[in-house]
């Protein structure tokens, strides 16, 4: 979106994707890219065909986990492991971009 705005001398823009079965890896990449640059992004996510879609926003919506999401100690450990891995991945990318070696 940034390149499109620059090439057209635009100030703001919006990209909308729709589909029955969007590629989740590409959508996740786009979401992370928007988040890393501070851009706003939102999505209606329907995890199962017979459930209602839920709107998720990058801006203003903190991650919310319910007790049902984390039922066991293993669920909690897995969440912590995944958070640490993402943190280390983000730090590594930032440090490489700043010309530093990552640990």
Beta carbons of 58 and 35 less than 8 angstroms apart: yes
The domains of the chain are located at: 1-62, 65-103
Helical H segments across the chain, by residue range: 2-7, 24-36, 73-97
What does each of the 103 residues of the chain score in pLDDT, given as a tens digit? 778 888 999 988 888 888 888 888 888 788 777 777 767 777 888 777 788 888 877 765 556 677 777 888 998 898 889 888 888 887 776 666 555 544 4
Question: How would you label 43-75 residue by residue, b for 16+ Cβ within 10 Å and e otherwise?
Answer: beeeeeeeeeeeeeeeeeeeeeeeeeeeeeeee
Distances in whole angstroms, Cα of residue 80 to Cα of each of 17, 39, 66, 93: 32, 26, 15, 20
CA atoms within 13 A of residue 34's CA, in its CB half-sphere? 18
Neighbours of 31 (CB within 10 A): 16
pTM of the model: 0.43
């Amino acid at each position: 979106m940034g390149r499109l705005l620059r090439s057209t001398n635009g100030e703001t823009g919006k990209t909308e994707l729709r589909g029955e079965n969007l590629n989740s890896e590409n959508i996740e990449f786009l979401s992370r890219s928007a988040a890393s640059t501070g851009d706003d992004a939102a999505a209606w996510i329907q995890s199962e065909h017979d459930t209602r879609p839920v709107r998720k926003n990058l801006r203003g919506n903190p991650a919310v986990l319910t007790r049902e999401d984390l039922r066991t100690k293993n669920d909690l450990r897995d969440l912590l492991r995944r958070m640490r891995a993402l943190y280390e991945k983000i730090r590594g990318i930032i440090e490489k971009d700043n010309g530093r070696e990552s640990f």
